[in-house]
Structure 1
């Protein structure tokens, strides 16, 4: 069964490089042990190795884990380098990242802060 990841509530990127030889159990261990995140809370977790032309995604699909792997033929990802950080992304930031752009677009219109306008 394919999942529409645009409906996933939580998108997390594991910054820095991850050993891409890891499978489901190894990546799940990184998420739960190193970052103390809930693997089962409608979340997708993204990992990248030293080569920035491939990534893995881990997702709990109610009855088991899905592990997705993609190798990009032309280009590289703009993967954040801070080795000990995990970031929560918006759907727009995920699109930027997977299109080879930085998740911090300097010219993007930022969402307005709610509250008093004056």
Structure 2
């Protein structure tokens, strides 16, 4: 389990990405497809076409860092590729990495402050 602060934002590229790309290629996808600044410090999540591999790109104070996971069996449950502007909470990212289907999961009501 990865411990991530709840204030961290997680942006997801729903469309498949060629994961042969590394730091600079994924940073460009973040700018073009996600409309996000890759140096913001937030997590940018990408998956391949088969949905059995993901890469997470983030800026770590003085350079890019890249985290990758490859499943030996099965696939990640991923959003519809036609979806745009997907943002997950760190808890949702941890659940997805743990094999939980976010579409079947149900969120219980919680109090939250109104956003301006």
- The TM-score bracket by the shorter chain reads 0.7 to 0.9
For the 8 Å contact 1:10–1:89, the answer to whether it is kept is yes
Q: TM-score w.r.t. structure 1 length?
A: 0.80
Q: Which runs of 4+ in 1 moved over 6 A?
A: none
Question: How do 1:13-28 residues align onto structure 2 when only pairs under 5 Å count?
Answer: 13-28=12-27
The equivalent of 2:88 in structure 1 is 89
Please report how far the alpha carbon of residue 114 of structure 1 lies from its aligned counterpart in structure 2 after TM superposition: 5.3
**How many residue pairs get matched?**
112
Flag structure 2 segments of 5+ consecutive residues without an equivalent. Answer: none
1:107 aligns with 2:106: yes
Q: TM-score w.r.t. structure 2 length?
A: 0.81
Seen in structure 2, the aligned counterparts of structure 1 residues 77 and 49 have a Cα distance that, compared at 3 Å, is same
Flag structure 1 segments of 5+ consecutive residues without an equivalent. Answer: none
1:31-89, Cα deviation, whole Å (9 max, x unpaired) = 11233212122201010001111100101001100111110123211011224523111
